[in-house]
Structure 1
Amino acid sequence: MKKIFLFGNWKMNQSLRATENFAAESAAFFSERPGLKAETEICIFPPFVLIPEAVKNFTNLGVTVGAQNASDHGEGAYTGEVAPSMLKEAGCRYVIVGHSERRHIYGESSELVNKKALNCLTSGLIPVLCVGETLEERDAGRTTDVISDQLRKGVKDFPAGAAYVVAYEPVWAIGTGRAASAEDAEKVCRLIKDSVRVPVLYGGSVKPSNAAELFSRPSIDGGLIGGASLKARDFFAILKNFRAAELEAVL
């Protein structure tokens, strides 16, 4: 059985009631399918204000909680920022850094992403470092150069043995319904894994119908899921379908 990471990025969605309902539906789903979570690291990334509620509801289900962003500073006069140490204290295990929406909407550079990741490591959190090319970069044949540059700058000065995860999210596939082919995703994830030797996730319109084909690839260790993570049964159907396909391949 292959270990996979099933990470759900809620982005700026959900509510206190929705978080409670998600947890209740998750509990029901797993009670119907005991053992489904084996060899699976599951993490939900809610908006900041929902983190305590998520920790309260998900911990007993064996689901960890992460944050969608963190400051590159530890404390001080930085209005609107949240320090990694605060996230750690709130119960987070992972933090997403460098998501394409942060890079392209809010102008975050790879250098800033690196500072955030280092700050997370210092606080005992595991960064999920996102990398990905735009459609223009892909069409220009620059995917390898873009990914390699983002990766090199993103992990600069990481201490030896640092615990982190890389998520390959082609910008042109996020929220568009257009996923990279399993072959293309595997090619880029192999490039990443050969460079840093850490778990590599794929993100970009992952859903129950394509999860098995993507997650079965040797260099893809799971997914960072967006829209399909907002409903518990859709989210866990991704895991169910992959495990069913995995079992069928063995038989």
Structure 2
Amino acid sequence: MAVVSTSLTSQFSGLRRSSKLDRSPPAAQSFTQHVNARVCFSSCSPHQKPCRGVVSMAGTGKFFVGGNWKCNGTKDSITKLVSDLNSATLEPDVDVIVAPPFVYIDQVKNSITPRIEIASQNSWTGKGGAFTGEISVEQLKDIGCKWVILGHSERRHVIGEDDQFIGKKAAYALSEGLGVIACIGELLQEREAGKTFDVCFQQLKAYADAVPSWDNIVIAYEPVWAIGTGKVATPQQAQEVHVACRDWLKKNVSAEVASKTRIIYGGSVNGGNCAELAKQEDIDGFLVGGASLKGPEFATIVNSVISKKVAA
């Protein structure tokens, strides 16, 4: 189990409304000055212009794009979607995953190209048993799932799952060989209060306290105010959170984990904005909602890896 320091989280309050640091205690001020050299401090509301002065660390992982179909689809519409995906031309150096509703996983697995792997939208904290309505990791593996999405904002803020419960799910899935797409992200009021980094770091720490290894984890940063709203974080807003999360991993887990762990962005990603987002050095891919239900548009998002190559 990873050993994580808690001191940095309490010292670093995130995207602040003010950059005045002269009232901070010496230790906090020193840490803040260190991070301020890497990321910009700003309230950066969804309506404001992007911040300046972000310095990236850049991960080394393969581009990763996941499609979260959520509670959408019928046999007929999913047959059409799978057909569109099977006929699409996808860049080869991208890991592509789709997460159908539970009842259609078997249909999708048996009909989609092997080029695209299957994820579940949720899993239980342990082996199956008397847990009505839940799905076990063992069952997911049995029908061919390779990944599971955990900690999505809808599970947190609609269903009521807390950080520790999500961490327990992640730990069990990883221990059984299932990859985890570990979601984090702040509410609009948390961003406006300057708590973006606090929230993201707290959620990261819950994963780090529980998981046995980071070898099969992809972090998905999804600002809650951008999910399904049509509002998208600017490339600069997304980048500053991604680089801060990578810095947190470096300080609290290891430099190797910080470099290798892919941090992807989610929140109203579509065919029109994916290229600019992909150009950011610390954005290693996307977790896509509504646009993943449209085969050609999802292919465009997968192929936005070309923009990253050009930017590099």
Question: Normalization by structure 1: what TM-score?
Answer: 0.92
RMSD: 1.7
**SS of 1:146 mapped into structure 2:** helix
Contact 1:211 1:242 in 2 (8 A): no
* Structure 1 pair 248–202 and aligned structure 2 pair: CA distance change class (3 A): closer
Structure 2 Cα separation of the partners of residues 224 and 18 of structure 1: 21
Contact 1:100 1:131 in 2 (8 A): yes
Structure 2 Cα separation of the partners of residues 59 and 155 of structure 1: 34
Name the structure 1 match of 2:119. 66
Contact 1:193 1:199 in 2 (8 A): no
Structure 1 residues 129-208: aligned runs within 5 Å: 129-196=182-249, 197=258, 198-208=261-271
Structure 1 Cα separation of the partners of residues 191 and 311 of structure 2: 32
Q: CA offset at residue 247 of structure 1?
A: 6.1
How far does the alpha carbon of each residue in 1:167-218 deviate from its partner, in whole angstroms, 9 at most, with x for none?
A: 0000000001000011110011112222332100100010111101111111
- Matching residue's letter, 1:184: Q
Structure 2 Cα separation of the partners of residues 216 and 137 of structure 1: 27
Name the structure 2 match of 1:92. 145
* Structure 1 pair 114–241 and aligned structure 2 pair: CA distance change class (3 A): closer
Structure 2 Cα separation of the partners of residues 89 and 213 of structure 1: 38
Name the structure 2 match of 1:229. 292
* Structure 1 pair 202–70 and aligned structure 2 pair: CA distance change class (3 A): same
Structure of greater relative contact order (alpha carbons < 8 Å, 6+ residues apart)? 2
- Matching residue's letter, 2:64: F
Contact 2:94 2:305 in 1 (8 A): no
* Structure 1 pair 239–120 and aligned structure 2 pair: CA distance change class (3 A): same
Q: CA offset at residue 239 of structure 1?
A: 2.7
Which residues of structure 1 form unaligned runs of 5+? 31-35
Name the structure 2 match of 1:210. 273
1:6 aligns with 2:96: no
- Matching residue's letter, 1:21: K
Q: CA offset at residue 234 of structure 1?
A: 1.3
Detail structure 1 runs of 4+ shifted over 3 Å in the superposition: 245-250
* Structure 1 pair 247–127 and aligned structure 2 pair: CA distance change class (3 A): closer
- Matching residue's letter, 1:238: I
1:75 aligns with 2:128: yes
Report which of the two has the higher share of helix: 1
2:75 pairs with one of 16, 20, 25? 16
Question: Normalization by structure 2: what TM-score?
Answer: 0.74
Contact 1:178 1:204 in 2 (8 A): yes
Contact 2:96 2:302 in 1 (8 A): no
Structure 2 Cα separation of the partners of residues 154 and 189 of structure 1: 16
Residue identity over aligned pairs, in percent, reads 39
Q: CA offset at residue 246 of structure 1?
A: 4.6
Q: CA offset at residue 155 of structure 1?
A: 2.4
Name the structure 1 match of 2:12. none
Contact 2:91 2:303 in 1 (8 A): no
Structure 1 Cα separation of the partners of residues 199 and 169 of structure 2: 20
* Structure 1 pair 160–26 and aligned structure 2 pair: CA distance change class (3 A): closer
